[in-house]
Chains A and B, each alone.
Chain A
Amino acid sequence: MTAQAAVTTSTRRPVRRRISTGWTLLWLNVFLTFVFLYAPIIVMSIFSFNASRQMQVWMGFTLDWYVRMLHDERVRVAAENSLIIALVSTAVSTVIGTLTALALERTRFRVKSLYEGAMYLPIIVPEIVMAIALLVFFNLTFQGLDQLFGLRLNFGLGTITIAHIAFSFPFVAVVVRARLADFDRTLEQAAQDLGANDWQTFRYITLPLLMPGIIAGALLAFTLSIDDFVITFFNAGVGSTTLPLEIYGRVRRGITPDVNALSTVLLLASMLLVLSSLALQRRRSS
């Protein structure tokens, strides 16, 4: 019942242990795939420390590009914006997403399957479709508000944040829902049996035990927001910029090493976030 049975050759040839041709090739595939997955980002990170402006030669280790990046005003503004948007978006998405998960897992109502299907749309549909839809919507709404109430609103951090919430909260809902599905309902029954009313049961039992899932969802929402490009690009308007937008702009204009530094920082940040989210989901999964 072991692996070698699956891929060793026919019974006529003597069956050798793990080191058969089939397995060598398979592991080679795995190794090369890992190289493929990691090489670009490792190379980029290494070159962010390159003292030379050009890519092809290594001229010594330096932190200059990072220093330049830290002093870059545009980068600072973009980072601030990214952070603000991410924090607000995460907060709202987490709340809405958790409520939605509770709705899907703990209630019944007639249009529920339709609702459920609709919830998956932002996850399935390509980002550009959603980006365009929001662009068109905001544009029309702003025109309308201007004509009807003389209220002049514009694209900016607000529209970006609203857009981020719209595509993040279904992800939060999926994560929290998975946690809810595994939830031991007898614990809530025991709490009620011992005298806890609905609110007390939720506050002392359901919520604490759900918390790891909610936090994992929040981290996911945060990552999605910080990393988002397409939807942000179309809904940012003229003045606002976020880190991904900034990187894109610079790449379009030509590759410079400070983009390397910025990218590496962003890379490490998202890696850290994801690892924490995974660690959280693992630790409390009892």
Chain B
Amino acid sequence: MERPIDVELVDVTKVFDSGVVAVDRVSLQIYQGEFFSLLGPSGCGKTTTLRMIAGFEHPTSGEVRIEGRPMGHTPPFRRNVNTVFQNYALFPHMTVFENVAFGLRMKRVPRDEIVRRVREALQLVRLSGFEERYPRQLSGGQQQRVALARALVNRPRVLLLDEPLGALDLKLRKEMQLELKHLQMTVGITFIYVTHDQEEALTMSDRIAVMNAGRVLQVGTPVEIYERPTSRFVADFIGESNFLPGRVVDVDRDVATVLVAGERPVRVRIETPVAAGQPVTVAIRPEKIRVTPVEAPEANGFLSGRVEEVIYIGTDTFYVVRIDDHTTLRVRSQNDRNRLDGGQLLPVGTSVTVGWAEDAARLLLD
């Protein structure tokens, strides 16, 4: 059964008067009921994309469709989406109740129904009893929840959130991340969430679109994005990666052999075909690398090197291993043994071998 698509962007481009291309031929399909994130660094176009869905900007070319209907130049007040703004944008001259009730008032919903629904919405965000307060009397977290309630009370098809947790301190942010996720699952409407915090996106999303310089680089579930990045940017922006430039020397069905770091061969599982002689980059995440001293019996890595730095952070130990004059690898080793007694830290200068599973590394073509 096909899932219905709530929001679709078809080859959308936005060029501002200044000539800046904020969004460059972006196509996305966002399914009903999913928590979809737009992730990327500042200036990548994610907020502009969100604003085009909301109706505050119009595409220079391409189409924005909501529930299948092209939006064209439809103004925001005629779209069935609601936005939670980064600065909350609560009306300072209205009480919490009046703020939340605003959208319903504009639609001329009868008075008693307004009261009922506003109470419901405030209950949902755990702010019952705050009806008569003014925004300036609330904390940041409380203001944020009022902004949520104000949007949700209208029962929009899609909720757009523009970095709503940016102004909160770390602990509160983490709490709110979970709250938002649970809220979305409870209420069941589509969330489109903009953030530059990759951990936040990975925590909350059903699917993520990674953006940079106006373009969408990859769309996928958190696991897909993390385990199978398709470009160097994504591999670097999400989590940490080591990058080994090299050349393909051999291709045997779904395994390519690549010469890296001074002509040392490495085998990598591939999904797309490559040709011998092609320059590629091998990307391997620190936690997937095994490092063992050369004398140890279980040493079976295919690259040799020397430990240059040891960084102990309690849960893990980072080793910076020098492979050759130009190349180091960051290796993350979980501290699953007591580092003082049984499982000693490898001292600086140790000769080691490093290796990883064939499907742990990724071959990047850019």
Chain B, range 77-99, C-beta contacts under 8 Å to A: 77, 81-83, 85, 87, 89-93
Q: Which residues of A contact B150 (CB under 8 A)?
A: 194
Q: Which residues of A contact B54 (CB under 8 A)?
A: 193
Min distance, Cβ B106 to any Cβ of chain A, angstroms: 4
Do the beta carbons of A193 and B91 come within 8 Å of each other? no
Contact of A194 among B75, B92, B106, B136 (CB under 8 A): B106
**A191 is an interface residue with CB less than 8 A from chain B:** yes
**A192 is an interface residue with CB less than 8 A from chain B:** yes
Q: Which residues of A contact B75 (CB under 8 A)?
A: 192, 197
Contact with A along B32-65 (1 / 0, CB 8 A): 0000000000000000000000111000000000
Q: Closest residue to A189 on the B side, CB-wise?
A: B56
**B111 is an interface residue with CB less than 8 A from chain A:** no
A189 and B162 CA atoms in complex are apart in Å by 13
> Can you show 8 pairs from A to B with CB atoms below 8 A apart?
A184-B87, A189-B56, A189-B85, A190-B90, A192-B77, A194-B82, A195-B103, A196-B77
Do the beta carbons of B89 and A195 come within 8 Å of each other? no
Chain A, range 165-211, C-beta contacts under 8 Å to B: 184, 186-187, 189-197, 200, 204-205, 208-209
The answer to whether A194 and B103 touch (CB under 8 A), given A209-B93, A286-B92, is yes
Do the beta carbons of B91 and A205 come within 8 Å of each other? yes
**B193 is an interface residue with CB less than 8 A from chain A:** no
Q: Which residues of A contact B56 (CB under 8 A)?
A: 189, 192-193
Q: Which residues of B contact A197 (CB under 8 A)?
A: 75, 77, 106
Q: Which residues of B contact A189 (CB under 8 A)?
A: 56, 76, 83, 85, 89
Q: Closest residue to B107 on the A side, CB-wise?
A: A195
A256 and B216 CA atoms in complex are apart in Å by 84
Q: Which residues of B contact A195 (CB under 8 A)?
A: 77, 103, 106-107, 154
Q: Which residues of B contact A186 (CB under 8 A)?
A: 85, 87, 89
Q: Which residues of A contact B76 (CB under 8 A)?
A: 189, 192-193
Number of residues on chain B facing chain A (CB within 8 A): 24
Contact of B93 among A190, A196, A200, A208 (CB under 8 A): A208
Min distance, Cβ B128 to any Cβ of chain A, angstroms: 21
- The total of Cβ contacts below 8 Å across the A-B interface reads 61
Chain A, range 197-235, C-beta contacts under 8 Å to B: 197, 200, 204-205, 208-209
A3 and B103 CA atoms in complex are apart in Å by 53
Min distance, Cβ A284 to any Cβ of chain B, angstroms: 9
Chain B, range 85-142, C-beta contacts under 8 Å to A: 85, 87, 89-93, 102-103, 106-107, 136
Do the beta carbons of B89 and A190 come within 8 Å of each other? yes
A116 and B235 CA atoms in complex are apart in Å by 53
Q: Which residues of A contact B90 (CB under 8 A)?
A: 190
A18 and B231 CA atoms in complex are apart in Å by 65
Q: Closest residue to B101 on the A side, CB-wise?
A: A194
Besides A189-B83, A191-B102, 14 other A-B contacts (C-beta < 8 A): A189-B76, A189-B85, A190-B91, A191-B91, A192-B75, A192-B77, A194-B150, A194-B154, A195-B154, A197-B75, A205-B91, A209-B92, A209-B93, A286-B92
Q: Which residues of A contact B55 (CB under 8 A)?
A: 192-193
Min distance, Cβ A182 to any Cβ of chain B, angstroms: 13
A260 and B267 CA atoms in complex are apart in Å by 102
Chain B, range 229-271, C-beta contacts under 8 Å to A: none
Q: Which residues of A contact B102 (CB under 8 A)?
A: 191, 194, 196, 204
Q: Which residues of B contact A204 (CB under 8 A)?
A: 102
The 5 closest A-B pairs by CB, nearest first: A194-B103, A190-B89, A195-B106, A186-B89, A192-B76
A200 and B77 CA atoms in complex are apart in Å by 10
Q: Which residues of A contact B81 (CB under 8 A)?
A: 193
A34 and B154 CA atoms in complex are apart in Å by 59
Output the residue of B87, B93, B136, B150 with the most chain A CB within 10 A: B93
A204 and B103 CA atoms in complex are apart in Å by 12
Chain B, range 157-194, C-beta contacts under 8 Å to A: none
Min distance, Cβ A95 to any Cβ of chain B, angstroms: 22
Q: Closest residue to B76 on the A side, CB-wise?
A: A192
Contact of A193 among B83, B87, B92 (CB under 8 A): B83
Q: Which residues of A contact B93 (CB under 8 A)?
A: 208-209
Q: Which residues of B contact A208 (CB under 8 A)?
A: 93
Q: Which residues of A contact B92 (CB under 8 A)?
A: 187, 209, 286
